[in-house]
Amino acid sequence: MAKVYERGIVTHFVKPQFVTPTCKDIFDELDKLKGESIDKPHYVDAINDTRKKLIECMTQSKLLEYSFIAQSFGQILSKSALEAMKTYKVSEKAGLHAWASSRDTLGRIKPPSGDDASNGYQG
């Protein structure tokens, strides 16, 4: 879309504010959370368990790193992450717990249209 705007075919372009995340986006979030929690081994263990479940789900659904996630995938991720929070006794007041409890909202927004944008989307 930005290229269309640059060519002068349209008069204005509004960049989308919300984009359905890809599996890689979730991995990146987990990496950031892990870096922020390095001094809390039980948080790191919870993050590692969540990552393992994400990989299992990707394998079962035949998704790639750059595949957009579906809402059902977000719900599975949320359930798995919350189970890990409970198993490793992550405080409900922690940012990591908030991240885990909000994963079920992912996938509600459809990915951008286009051939490569829908690659692997299971929605």
pLDDT digits (tens, 9 = 90+) for 31-58: 999 999 999 999 999 999 999 999 998 9
Contacts of 62 (CB under 8 A, 6+ apart): 120
pLDDT attached to residue 75: 86
Is 111 within a domain? no
Is 122 within a domain? no
Contacts of 78 (CB under 8 A, 6+ apart): 100, 101, 102, 103, 104, 106
Is 97 within a domain? yes
N-to-C CA span, the chain: 23
Is 4 within a domain? no
Is 2 within a domain? no
Contacts of 101 (CB under 8 A, 6+ apart): 78, 81, 82, 85
What's the whole-number mean pLDDT along residues 21-32? 94
78-115 pLDDT, tens digit per residue, is 899 999 999 999 999 999 999 999 888 876 655 555 54
For the chain, how many structural domains are there in total? 1
pLDDT of 120 higher than 50:
no
Give yes or no for a contact between 69 and 26, defined as CB atoms under 8 angstroms apart.
yes
Give yes or no for a contact between 36 and 44, defined as CB atoms under 8 angstroms apart.
no
pLDDT of 26 higher than 70:
yes
Is 56 within a domain? yes
Range of the domain at 81: 21-105
**Residue 122 banded pLDDT, cuts 50, 70, 90:** very low
pLDDT of 2 higher than 90:
no
pLDDT attached to residue 111: 58
Is 9 within a domain? no
Is 26 within a domain? yes
